[in-house]
Amino acid sequence: MFVTGHNAEDEKEPAPSAASIRDVAKAAGVSYQTVSRVINHHPNVSQKARDKVTAAMAELGYRPNRAARALANGMDRAVTVLTSNTNLFGYAETLGGIEVAARAAGVHVAIRVLPSDSPEDIAAAVDQVSDPRSGAVIVLAFDREGSQALEALPATVSWAGAAESWLGRQSSLAESPRLTWYDDTAAARTATEHLLDLGHRTVHHVAIPSSSPVGDRERGWKQALEAAGAPVPEVVQPHGWSIAGAYDAARELLLDPDVTAVLCGNDDQALGVIRAANDLGLKVPEDVSVVGFDDVPAAPYFTPALTTVRFDFAALGRRAFELLELGSGSTEERAPLASPALIVRESTGPAPQGRTAARTTPPPQHLRAAGAGAEPRHKEDR
């Protein structure tokens, strides 16, 4: 189990300097082009030659030089993921899915983050990945950064994207089957209907950032409300993804006794809303029902356990990779993505007869002063 000391024997030689295709050829007693053929699985190589080459490669510890290969091919077998974020659940999970698929296909994966949606930052990132010779790119277009990068990508690079559904439906993009997405609108509709079915007069909505002025989840929520003839309250739009934003907004929102059901843009926000309810002396779900999106691993362990919509982001990532068609040529059958599923747990319940009035006590100490523990480390706003 303990580290032994980094193969000190390796350091004796004057520098073995990596065996090349010619070294292998010499050792195998063939020309180096034959070695190349073996490496590239060309059909026209005798079994005997192939065996000799394989043996020589193993003996010399031959390792193809990616750079030389990319240079000669005019193309590297690599994909770089363009994303504004590496931490948020959906992003990290999608990245993980891409990596799994790429690894299986023998494709290298790189990552480039979009630090902001400023034109300069977008341009710099797009410029960096715009060289078709250095591989394909997958952009995570769940937000403004991503969709703007997508927009700015030159037509010369091979790309694919995981996006919000509105983007996928854009005519200009819909023509090329390079975008995957989940139907956020339908998912939000389902979640809203669940709340309405529970007898809530209407549902309020706390939104996450979106790549468009009106997010898909917001759209679905509104559709469900209108279909049911329920009033459509104003959307609560905290700045950014931070839980603090949702918490603060909810402390305002929940003062209104008419608010008995809140659909949140994601599970993090839902947590903030639940906590805000607690701090105002409101019980979830007795006084107010809360729904999230994503189904993060922690959701079943919240108090109360969160009712939420599950998305399989890893599958989304895998699909995005498939769209690149970097596979071994064969157009494999693509299993359809499973639809998002509403997972009903404890945070939603029947509409209260008369909702408890909110206690307007101040937030707990640890959430009060900025920097006193309210996630000062994290970039919260954009």
Instruction: Enumerate residues 74-103 that contact DNA by CB under 7 A.
Output: 74
The answer to whether the peptide bond before residue 304 is cis (omega within 30 degrees of 0) is: yes
Pick what 298 binds: a second copy, DNA, none; C-beta below 5 to 8 Å, kind-dependent.
a second copy
Q: Residue 160 is inside which H or E element, if any?
A: strand 159-163
How would you list the strands of the sheet with 307-310, edge to edge?
A: 204-206, 261-264, 289-294, 307-310, 341-343
Does the footprint of DNA cover residue 58 (CB under 7 A)?
no
Give the range of 185-193, 195-203, 242-250, 354-362 binding a second copy by CB under 8 A.
242-250
Whole-angstrom Cα distance, residue 31 to residue 23? Answer: 10
Does the footprint of DNA cover residue 72 (CB under 7 A)?
yes
Contacts of residue 58, defined as CB under 8 A and 6 or more positions apart, other chains included, come to: none
Would you state the structure tokens that stand for residue 45, as one six-digit string?
């190589």
Does the footprint of DNA cover residue 27 (CB under 7 A)?
no
Does the footprint of a second copy cover residue 329 (CB under 8 A)?
no
Is the Cβ of residue 26 or residue 69 nearer to a second copy in the bound state?
69
Nearest to 255 by CA among 271, 236, 270, 269: 236
Whole-angstrom Cα distance, residue 224 to residue 222? Answer: 5
Q: Tell the smallest beta-carbon distance from residue 16 to DNA (Å).
A: 11
Would you give the DSSP letter of residue 258?
T
Residue pair 203/261 in contact by the 8 Å Cβ criterion: yes
3-state helix, strand, coil in the chain (%, to 5): 40, 10, 45
Q: Residue 83 is inside which H or E element, if any?
A: strand 78-83
Nearest to 153 by CA among 98, 91, 82: 82
Size of the site for a second copy (CB under 8 A): 88
Site string for DNA, 191-230 (x = CB under 7 A): ----------------------------------------
Does the footprint of a second copy cover residue 103 (CB under 8 A)?
yes
Residue 112, phi then psi, degrees to nearest 5: -135, 120
Q: Using the rule CB under 7 A, which residue among 68, 124, 338, 370 binds DNA? A: 68
Does the footprint of a second copy cover residue 167 (CB under 8 A)?
yes
Q: Tell the smallest beta-carbon distance from residue 71 to a second copy (Å).
A: 4
Is the Cβ of residue 28 or residue 280 nearer to DNA in the bound state?
28
Site string for a second copy, 267-306 (x = CB under 8 A): -x--xx-xx--x----------------x-xx-xxxx-x-
Is the Cβ of residue 164 or residue 202 nearer to a second copy in the bound state?
164
Which spans of this chain sit near DNA (rule: CB under 7 A)? 17-18, 20-22, 30-34, 36-37, 39-40, 43-46, 48-49, 62, 64-65, 68-69, 71-74
